[in-house]
Structure 1
């Protein structure tokens, strides 16, 4: 990693690697941030709640940290987290992270880059919500999955309920959005999606490198 070995060992003191089954809430928003979490294997959903409503903020895939900002400021978790699949997670005491930031230049540099990447992700997500309709968001999501999975027939990596929450629409509106995309070659069979006319879908979606992740 480039860290001084002694600093690296000190940072990992008191850490532990644990496997959690699916549907386990790892922490809740407003709880004190005790650990930095690193997803080694599996999938984690970050979500938030207000006024008896719940929304998916983002999905974490390995290998990735989450709640780094909360760990650095010694504050409360700003989101809740739960496993969507059996997941292996490395948990490092938050205090160790703050000490490492002061003690090790290489670690500080990498932490800043991670925070910058997270910030860019938040901006992209916000632009996606503010500048596109629900149908356009779904169309671009399918195009991203098309690139990631490498074929015209793809499998939704999350339940449709979670996908709707990610896109900022209700499950009912997600169904309507899929119906709207039928003339653009989108055929739905449960979690299987057949993209039969990528060109027409791209014409509708108008994908942007400033919004859509690779």
Structure 2
């Protein structure tokens, strides 16, 4: 990592409260790299050589079984992934690839394990990251079990709106094929779901979503009763 990059990285939530000596030791052995879109970062079953921290960009976490592939999560800045594997030194249960040009900090896993064990502030930050990941998958599993596909899409759009301060118009940040996989749908079903949401207060043109009647969409999708601002950005 170049000296000019250190102040920005030191200000990231996971590092902000660390002891200076421990943080400098991590920085001396870390790599901050820019990766192009559609680049595979690691595979299921691979041992975690690094903890990855997404500073800029988008990363897809996904898994496969035979010829079937499904999106598990979309990573947004600033989050680590996959901390659970890096800390326990266990094989990855998901693969990762960039969806856009992404700037990623890579810290050797052995070093991050040692630092977590010896720095209270980093340990607390790591616990928070793992908690975000746990809460995300509880919500995702609840969403899959309790909502029909059109309701899942409606709930996703409400979460995206909330992430933008309640915006009524926004661009879908990922390709529709990836969104369909994230929501457990086929692209064809996703297209039909968007059409169905037209009668529940949503207009869609290309990748641009307009929520023209939020109350109607809320009544249909029945979003979680508890705050959902931990869904779109998580650490796993």
- Tell me how far 1:72 sits from its aligned partner: 0.4
Instruction: Give the secondary-structure state (helix, strand or coil) at the position aligned to 2:17.
Output: coil
CA distance in 2, matches of 1:102, 1:138: 41
CA distance in 1, matches of 2:141, 2:117: 32
Which one is further off, 148-157 or 176-185? 148-157
- Tell me how far 1:188 sits from its aligned partner: 1.8
Which one is further off, 162-171 or 195-204? 195-204
Where does the alignment leave 5 or more consecutive residues of structure 1 unmatched? Answer: none
Q: Deviations 1:14-49 (Å, cap 9, x if unpaired)?
A: 211000011100111111100000011111111111
1:26-175 to structure 2, matched below 5 A, reads 26-149=41-164, 150-175=166-191
Instruction: Give the secondary-structure state (helix, strand or coil) at the position aligned to 2:132.
Output: helix
CA distance in 2, matches of 1:27, 1:81: 6
- How well do the aligned residues superpose, as a CA RMSD in angstroms? 1.5
For the pair 1:206 / 2:212, whether they are aligned, the reply is no
Instruction: Give the direction of change, closer, same or farther, for the CA distance of 1:97–1:178 in structure 2 (3 Å limit).
Output: same
Runs of 4+ with >4 A deviation: none
Q: TM-score under structure 2 normalisation?
A: 0.86
Q: Paired residues, what number?
A: 214
Among candidates 173, 179, 199, match of residue 195 of structure 2: 179
Instruction: Give the direction of change, closer, same or farther, for the CA distance of 1:153–1:32 in structure 2 (3 Å limit).
Output: same
The answer to whether the 8 A contact 2:26-2:107 is kept is: yes
